[in-house]
Amino acid sequence: MNTRPIQQALTLIAIALTFASGAADVASFTRLGDVFTSVMTGNIVLWGLAAARGSLTLFGHTAVSIAGYIAGVAGATWIAHGLRAVSPGQGQGQAAVPPEHVIRALLAELALLAGFTAGWMVCGASPAGWVQFCLLAALAAAMGVQSCAVRDMGLAEVSTTYLTGTLTGLVASLARPGQDTPHGLRRSGVLIGLAAGASLCGLLVAIAADLVPLLPLGALVFTLGLGWRSGWPRPGSGRAAASGPGIGGAGGGDGGGGADGTGG
């Protein structure tokens, strides 16, 4: 089986999802309390800073973001556990098809981003008070779901929400003279995607803030569209989902202990 198209699709999916997380972090940092929604290491640092300064506002925002992210990861894990219990045979099938729980997790993220988009537009891109906390929690939960889905998708050597390890792996591989750079294109692509999402979101915050949520939402729609075009089954279609090499492997994502598992 020719796996090149599968790997190319995976690379585009990784870039799109990292674009989404870059845009989400800029949106949250500029309009949702100066915190992140995907980089929990940064939030923990800000949490410590808030404690040192006695800033209840910053402490509260970081706490909500971290709690939202944890809820997203827990929810995606619950989806995976439930589907594996119903279909214990998952994991022995077509290499190009991810486990069904990955697709359902991405659909859950889509629902969260759609709700975030609606709330953002209703409040005129300037959320405050409890609305700000609700939108922050929803966006962080979406990023938590995404991280969990990517971990089981088979995206080798990259994450889409924490990229310190990806950068470390890329530089380390480039610094080894006379050796190949495994997954170099994918690693470079997600780093560029992160910067692109953050840059474009920053521009929209300045000139068209109402459109900001469309960046992560559009990136996720692109991801699902590309996946379905590549042969992903629609939830409830009855097609067996599988894990393995390519789009379906659960062991390739470094969120589960790969290069990025130690990154922040």
Question: In whole angstroms, what separates CA 80 from the centre of its chain?
Answer: 16
Q: Two tokens at 203?
A: 């521009």
- Which of 1-10, 12-21, 85-94, 210-219 shows the lowest per-residue confidence on average (mean pLDDT)? 85-94
Contact 47, 63 (CB under 8 A): yes
Query: pLDDT tens, 136-190?
Result: 999 999 999 999 898 888 775 678 877 776 667 677 776 766 555 556 678 888 8
Distances (CA, A) of 37 to 6, 144, 208: 29, 8, 21
Domains of the chain by start residue, with CATH:
4-236 (1.20.1250)
Q: Half-sphere exposure of 190 toward its Cβ, with a 13 Å CA cutoff? A: 29
Cα gap 201→25, rounded to integer Å: 9
Task: Tell me the whole-structure pTM to 2 decimals.
Answer: 0.82
Q: Two tokens at 241?
A: 């989902």
Is the Cα torsion angle 29, 30, 31, 33 positive or negative in sign? positive
Q: What is the pLDDT of residue 64?
A: 97
Q: Label residue 251 by pLDDT band (50, 70, 90).
A: very low
Q: Indicate whether 2 pLDDT > 60.
A: no
Contact 87, 238 (CB under 8 A): no
For 210, the enclosing helix (H) or strand (E) is none
